Amino acid sequence: MDKVFIDGLSFAAPLFIMAMGAIYSEKSGITNLAVEGFQGFGAFVGALTAILLMPVLGDGSQAVIYIAMLAAFVGGGIYACLHALLCIKFRANQVISGVVINILAVALTTFLTSTINKSLNGDASNKFVLGVFNRYTIPGLSQIPVIGALFRNMYPFEFIMIVVAIVAWYLMYRTRFGMRMRACGENPQAVDAAGGNVDRTRFISVMISGALSGVGGICFAYSISANFSPSIYMGYGYLAIAAMIFGNWNILPTGAVCLFFGLAKAGGYQLCLSMGLPSNYSDLFMMLPYVLTLILLVFFSKRNHPPKAAGEPYDKGKR
């Protein structure tokens, strides 16, 4: 059971930060199916930064990892500008734009990874080998029955995710920017009438979405896969979007859904091991979060209330 909590939290934390990114975009009125692409491109930038710094700072340097996270934050934000530009400036269909952004990210990062590897070491591999985060245990809290497992063998990014979640919640619900952003998703005409800049607010919100997704991507690369490769695009972005929907576009409920998905994924894998099934069955059990998504859609889809203006290009002349 302890293993389920430990692995579940390590999966839920990056998923949560990506879901928060999706919330920021959609709360501003921009439908965001591009989380998968933001995640992958941000992870690519972070992984490339790590590969370039390893010979200088050392392969085992934890500083490399934190710099890679910062690079992923910046890379994801910059890549998100493409989605923002298409949806806000050119008023493209936001769903189609998100899908295209995802496809482009897979093709572009795979090509760039192979090209860079060939130029660096002569091997046109499509992956950057990164290693994993060191794990830590919190004395005292780790001894609490049942929930103490949440504080054992933790990745450092899990602490960072908690801080980021608090900052993101405060920015959304306790600042002028957050109030204006949420208003842009409900009634952009009212924001414009009050002197706000709808396009700029939405553009910044989409960039925040990309930046957070990029951090989530590099955390997955440094924990689950230990490398950056096309396997980073495993549907995690869409799972984050599902968590956002089930959380009704609110940060705290979305966090609970992400934890539920993480525990389901880890629980399924541990169940496979405890039953002594062959390793090829583990992939079947790893599908559990996606199966749960389909089931939850049946029961909760009618209760969801997305932002009223989400998916609609802003038209100043509309009242």
What band does 156 get if pLDDT is binned at 50, 70 and 90? confident
Mean pLDDT confidence for 12-19: 95
Q: What range defines the domain where residue 227 resides?
A: 13-248
Predicted structure pTM score: 0.93
pLDDT at residue number 279: 63
Question: Does residue 172 form part of some domain?
Answer: yes
Higher model confidence: residue 287 or residue 32?
Answer: 32
In 10 A of CB 319, how many CB atoms? 6
Question: Does residue 63 form part of some domain?
Answer: yes
pLDDT > 70 in the chain, percent: 93
Asked whether 16 and 254 are in contact (CB, 8 A), the reply is: yes
221 DSSP 8-state letter: I
Q: Distance of CA 144 to CAs 12, 139, 148, 154, 161, Å?
A: 21, 10, 4, 15, 22
Question: Does residue 162 form part of some domain?
Answer: yes
Asked whether 137 and 2 are in contact (CB, 8 A), the reply is: no
Question: Does residue 145 form part of some domain?
Answer: yes
Higher model confidence: residue 4 or residue 166?
Answer: 166
Nearest of 155, 156, 159, 161 to residue 212 by alpha carbon: 161
Question: Does residue 290 form part of some domain?
Answer: no
Residue 289 has pLDDT above 80, yes or no: no
Residue 280 main-chain phi, psi, to 5 deg: -70, -15
How many independent structural domains does the chain possess? 1
Mean pLDDT confidence for 160-187: 93
Higher model confidence: residue 22 or residue 260?
Answer: 22
In 10 A of CB 110, how many CB atoms? 17
Question: Does residue 132 form part of some domain?
Answer: yes
pLDDT at residue number 189: 92
Nearest of 13, 104, 19 to residue 293 by alpha carbon: 19
Window from 42-46, 55-59, 85-89, 251-255 with minimum mean pLDDT: 55-59
Residue 147 has pLDDT above 70, yes or no: no
pLDDT at residue number 281: 66
311 DSSP 8-state letter: T
Mean pLDDT confidence for 265-284: 74
Residues near 11 by beta carbon (within 8 Å), at least 6 away in sequence: 224, 261, 262, 265, 266
Residue 128 has pLDDT above 90, yes or no: yes
Asked whether 149 and 143 are in contact (CB, 8 A), the reply is: no
Question: Does residue 280 form part of some domain?
Answer: no
pLDDT at residue number 280: 66
Question: Does residue 68 form part of some domain?
Answer: yes
- Taking the C-alpha atoms of residue 219 and residue 212, their distance in angstroms, rounded to an integer, is 11
pLDDT at residue number 248: 92
pLDDT at residue number 267: 84
Residue 60 has pLDDT above 80, yes or no: no
Burial state string for 54-76 with b = 16 or more CB within 10 A and e = fewer than 16: beeeeeeeeebbebbbebbbbbb
Asked whether 39 and 21 are in contact (CB, 8 A), the reply is: no
Higher model confidence: residue 300 or residue 35?
Answer: 35
SS3 category, 228: strand
pLDDT at residue number 20: 96
Mean pLDDT score across all residues of the chain? 88
Asked whether 210 and 21 are in contact (CB, 8 A), the reply is: yes
Q: Distance of CA 64 to CAs 61, 93, 136, 210, Å?
A: 6, 39, 18, 21
Encode 265-281 in three state secondary structure. Answer: HHHHHHHHHHCCCCHHH
- Residue-wise pLDDT tens digits, 216-255: 999 999 887 788 998 888 889 999 999 999 899 999 999 9
Residue 304 has pLDDT above 70, yes or no: yes
pLDDT at residue number 120: 87
pLDDT at residue number 76: 97
Asked whether 309 and 187 are in contact (CB, 8 A), the reply is: yes
pLDDT at residue number 146: 63
Residue 2 one-letter amino acid? D
